[in-house]
Structure 1
Amino acid sequence: MASLQDQLLKAGLADKKKAKAIRNEKHKQRKQQPKGAVQVNEAEQRVQQAREEKTERDRQLNQQHQAEAQKKAIQAQIRQLVGTNRLNRSHGESSYQFVHDKKIKKMYVDDLMVDQLARGRLAIICVSGEYEIVAEGVARKIQERDAQAVVVLHERTKDDLGDDDPYAGYEIPDDLMW
Structure 2
Amino acid sequence: MANSLHEQLLKAGLVDEKKLKQARHASPKKKKKGKGAATTEPAQPSAAEEARRREAERSRELNRQQKEAAERKALEAQIRQLIDAHRQDREGGEIPYNFQHGKTIRHLHVTPEQRDRLGNGRMAIVTLEDGYEVVTREGADKIAARDATRVVVCNDPEPRDKAKDEDDPYAGYEIPDDLMW
TM-score range, shorter chain: 0.5 to 0.7
Deviation of residue 158 (structure 1)?
2.9
Instruction: Name the CA shift for 1:87/1:45 in 2 (closer, same or farther; >3 Å).
Output: same
Give TM-score scaled by structure 2 length.
0.63
Aligned runs of 1:41-52 on 2, under 5 Å?
Answer: 45-52=46-53
Which residue number in structure 1 is paired with residue 159 of structure 2? 158
Unpaired runs of 5+ residues, structure 2, are 1-35, 161-181
What SS does the aligned partner of 2:133 have?
Answer: strand
Aligned runs of 1:16-27 on 2, under 5 Å?
Answer: none
Superposed CA RMSD = 2.0
Q: 2: distance between equivalents of 1:125 and 1:72?
A: 18
Which residue number in structure 2 is paired with residue 168 of structure 1? none
Which residue number in structure 1 is paired with residue 99 of structure 2? 98
Q: Deviation per CA, 1:87-143, whole angstroms, max 9, x where unpaired?
A: 011111111011113211111001111111111110001011121101111101000
Which residue number in structure 2 is paired with residue 69 of structure 1? 70
Which residue number in structure 2 is paired with residue 141 of structure 1? 142
Q: 1: distance between equivalents of 2:59 and 2:153?
A: 41
What code does the residue aligned with 1:116 have? R
Which residue number in structure 2 is paired with residue 57 of structure 1? 58
What SS does the aligned partner of 2:85 have?
Answer: helix
Q: 2: distance between equivalents of 1:117 and 1:134?
A: 9
Which residue number in structure 1 is paired with residue 133 of structure 2? 132
Which residue number in structure 1 is paired with residue 86 of structure 2? 85
What code does the residue aligned with 2:73 have? K
Q: 2: distance between equivalents of 1:148 and 1:39?
A: 53
Instruction: Name the CA shift for 1:39/1:144 in 2 (closer, same or farther; >3 Å).
Output: closer
Deviation of residue 38 (structure 1)?
10
Q: 2: distance between equivalents of 1:56 and 1:69?
A: 20
Q: 1: distance between equivalents of 2:42 and 2:111?
A: 83
Instruction: Give me the identity figure in percent.
Output: 36
Q: Deviation per CA, 1:137-158, whole angstroms, max 9, x where unpaired?
A: 1101000111111111111213
What code does the residue aligned with 2:53 have? E
Q: 1: distance between equivalents of 2:49 and 2:151?
A: 49
Q: 1: distance between equivalents of 2:135 and 2:97?
A: 15
Which residue number in structure 1 is paired with residue 120 of structure 2? 119
What code does the residue aligned with 2:50 have? Q
Aligned runs of 1:31-42 on 2, under 5 Å?
Answer: 32=37, 40=43
Give TM-score scaled by structure 1 length.
0.64
Which of structure 1's runs of 4+ aligned residues deviate more than 2 A? 31-34, 37-40
